[in-house]
Amino acid sequence: MDYPLPLPSGRQNGARVLIYSHDTFGLGHLRRSRAIANAIAEERADCSIVIISGSPVIGNFEFGSGVDYIRIPGVTKLPDGDYRSLNLNVNLDEAVGLRQDLILQAAQSFRPDVFIVDKEPTGFRGEVVPALDYLESQGCRRVLGIRDVMDEPALLVPEWERKGAKEILVRSYDEVWVYGLEDVYRPLDALDLPATVTDRITYTGYLRREVPPTPSLTRYPKITKQPFILVTTGGGGDGDDLIDWVISAYEHDADIEMPALIVFGPFVNRDMRRSFMERIARHPKLDAIAFDTKIEHLMQKAAAIVAMGGYNTFCEILSFDKRALIVPRTRPRLEQHIRAVAAERLGLASMLSDYDAARTPDRMALALKGLADQPRPSEVVIPGLLDGLDRVQERLKSLLDIEQPFMAPRQAAE
């Protein structure tokens, strides 16, 4: 019987992938890691994937067969930009030390063939560096996966210098996967990386999303039985301004034809949500729900989407071919603004920003009215736009040096 070539770990079959999800704030990193893990598991039946995450809501999401997760103690970002332990009554240094030990222990016990690190080369405050060093000694392939836009160069360069991220990237990673297109944005250009690193960069295209096979358990309001605008802020921890702006537009202009459904997200401030709900209850064209882990169903139903323009939501707008208005956050980072500018330049979405103009109700009302006549993303032909998961599969196969798919059952003894 012919077997594939040995895996980096020495196993003959049953590859293992470990994914570190940088998750100190919001849902973006977790949802991206989950999409990649589920795609790998669906393509490779004998592959096992473990996601390491500190997200407090990871257990609310469904994962494909072959995918599981390890929940490490969470940390959260404070309004002043600092961090603290999310639940434990310990200082931040002790929380990071515990997370670091658990990540290393997971690497030692799971023995992955490929380690995919999301966004931060060193992890949160350097917590993945010991695991990177250990896995290098074991022949594990190490990949840094980053979104299409990181931040404006003036902030990204000093941040990476402070963290020692560039040094770790050069020293510790076999490949870099940029989940976007080179023609849209080159997120690492400002770092002046050596050719030995730039040669390892693959632009995969954006990560296509699908509607979950099982229905959502969330009960949708009656407003969704007609054409409606879906307003989503992702995790919701920084979406107050967008929600307020949309509500203000409906309060200001009775001629906005399509109603809007607002999804707050799990991290919205409770007092702010209560205030919003009081205003929404008074308007016949507005309704809201707290959170939906399968928001893809709502996205597919919606006539148009209004969002802040985080990476995952942008992928969903493209995947479900929705007319979209992106209202990017401009503080403390310009990541969403940079992405929104590129999307509008390419004709994939429209943008409304308070970066250079006032956040007035009439501006939002005019933008909402324009959504009905806006072209869909599919009307713009951009080669490779949504090929991200296919390219990830190709690079994974190359890293594992495998000549046939993982379809043989795991042997009892290795």
Give the CATH number of domain 222-379.
3.40.50.2000
Among 100-109, 144-153, 205-214, 399-408, which stretch is predicted with the lowest mean pLDDT? Answer: 399-408
pLDDT over threshold 90, residue 22: no
pLDDT at 80: 67
Q: How far apart are CA 326 and CA 394, in angstroms?
A: 31
- β-pair partners for 241: none
Nearest to 205 by CA among 175, 180, 178: 180
Going 301 to 147 to 163 to 80, the CA torsion angle's sign is negative
Half-sphere exposure of 95 (CA within 13 A, CB side): 19
Q: What is the mean pLDDT of residues 206-224?
A: 91
What is the mean predicted confidence (pLDDT) over 2-21?
77
For domain 16-208+386-400, the CATH architecture is: 3-Layer(aba) Sandwich (3.40)
Supply 290's token pair. Answer: 């707290």
Check residue 194 and give its pLDDT. Answer: 95
Closest CA to 264 of 284, 294, 297, 242: 242
Residue 372 DSSP code: G
**Token pair belonging to 95:** 């929380």
Q: What is the CA radius of gyration of the chain?
A: 22
Rounded distance, CA 382 to CA 393, Å?
21
pLDDT digits (tens, 9 = 90+) for 243-298: 999 999 999 999 999 999 999 987 788 899 999 999 999 999 999 998 888 899 99
pLDDT category, 234, cuts 50, 70, 90? Answer: confident
Confidence of residue 216 (pLDDT cuts 50, 70, 90): confident
For residue range 84-116, list pLDDT tens digits in order.
898 999 999 999 999 999 999 999 999 999 999
**What integer pLDDT is reported at residue 330 of this predicted model?**
84
Least confident stretch, 72-86, 93-107, 374-388: 72-86
414 secondary structure, DSSP code: -
How far is 54 from 33, CA to CA, in rounded Å? 13
Residue 406 burial class via C-beta count within 10 angstroms: exposed 0-12, middle 13-18, buried 19 and up = buried
Q: Model pTM greater than 0.85?
A: yes
CA distances (Å), origin 386, targets 204, 269, 274, 318, 336: 8, 34, 38, 8, 19
Candidate from 37-46, 126-135, 349-358 with smallest mean pLDDT:
349-358
* Rounded-to-integer distance, Cα 9 and Cα 224, Å: 50
| Those residues with Cβ within 8 angstroms of residue 341's Cβ, 6 or more apart along the chain or in another chain | 351
CB 351 within 8 A of CB 323: no
pLDDT 10s digits, 317-338:
999 999 999 999 887 788 999 9
Per residue in 150-187, pLDDT tens? 989 999 999 999 999 999 999 999 999 999 999 899 99
What angle do helix axes 165-172 and 153-163 make, rounded to 10 degrees? 70
In this structure, what are the phi and psi dihedrals at residue 49, rounded to the nearest 5 degrees?
Answer: -125, 130
Angle at 325 between CA 322 and CA 326, to 5 degrees: 115
Tell me the pLDDT band of 23, cut-offs 50, 70 and 90. confident
Residue 309, phi then psi, degrees to nearest 5: 90, 30
pLDDT higher than 90, residue 30:
no
Nearest CA to 21 among 113, 125, 123?
Answer: 123
Read out DSSP for 33-82?
A: HHHHHHHHHHH-TT-EEEEEE--TTGGGS---TTEEEEEPPPEEE-TTS-
**How far is CA 255 from each of CA 2, 40, 372, rounded to the nearest angstrom?**
69, 47, 13
- ∠ CA 382-144-403, nearest 5°, is 80
Say whether pLDDT at 410 is over 60.
no
Contact indicator for 179, 148 with CB cutoff of 8 Å: yes
pLDDT higher than threshold 50 for residue 411 = no
Answer with the residue of higher pLDDT: 25 or 301: 301
Among 23, 60, 152, 64, smallest CA distance to 50 is for 64
Q: How far are the Cα atoms of 46, 80, 131, 365 from residue 241, in angstroms, in the given order?
A: 45, 17, 39, 15
Q: Which residues contact 360 (CB under 8 A, 6 or more apart)?
A: none
Q: What are the residue ranges of CATH 3.40.50.2000 in the chain?
A: 16-208+386-400, 222-379
